[in-house]
């Protein structure tokens, strides 16, 4: 990158060397993987494709694809409102639990 701007990977490389930061990132990634599995299972059980979920959510298929991809990559965490819309579109309800 000739403009001197650093990529995301370059920016996070140094903090990820710290054991505490690395452990927290891995913990979050594990939690999001469990969430993604639950969302995909709900969509599969409902027999829906992304476009159908999107229509029921009032959005477009690429938005649903981005949501699923974001959880898979850990790039960002969706809002509770978005998760609620997704699971409702699949005929489920979102249940949050603090343990």
| Mean pLDDT within 22-43 | 77
| Mean pLDDT within 44-48 | 96
Q: Is pLDDT above 50 for 1?
A: no
Q: How many structural domains comprise the chain?
A: 1
Q: Is residue 97 part of a domain?
A: no
Task: State which residues form the domain around 38.
Answer: 8-89
Q: Is residue 3 part of a domain?
A: no
Q: Is residue 67 part of a domain?
A: yes
Q: Is residue 98 part of a domain?
A: no
Q: Is residue 18 part of a domain?
A: yes
Q: What is the CATH number of the domain that holds 50?
A: 1.10.260.40
pTM for the whole structure: 0.69
3-state secondary structure string across the chain: CCCCCCCHHHHHHCHHHCHHHHHHHHHHHHHHHHHHHHHHHHHHHHCCCHHHHHHHHCCCHHHHHHHHHHHHHCCCCCCHHHHHHHHHHCCCCCCCCCC
């Amino acid at each position: 990158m000739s403009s001197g701007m650093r990529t995301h990977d370059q920016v996070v490389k140094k903090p990820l060397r710290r054991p505490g930061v690395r452990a927290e990132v891995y913990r979050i990634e594990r939690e999001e993987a469990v969430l993604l599995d639950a969302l995909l299972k709900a969509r599969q059980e409902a027999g829906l494709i992304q476009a159908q979920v999107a229509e029921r959510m009032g959005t477009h298929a690429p938005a649903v694809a981005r949501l699923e991809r974001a959880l898979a990559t850990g790039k960002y965490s969706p809002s509770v409102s978005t998760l609620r819309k997704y699971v409702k579109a699949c005929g489920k309800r979102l249940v949050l639990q603090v343990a």
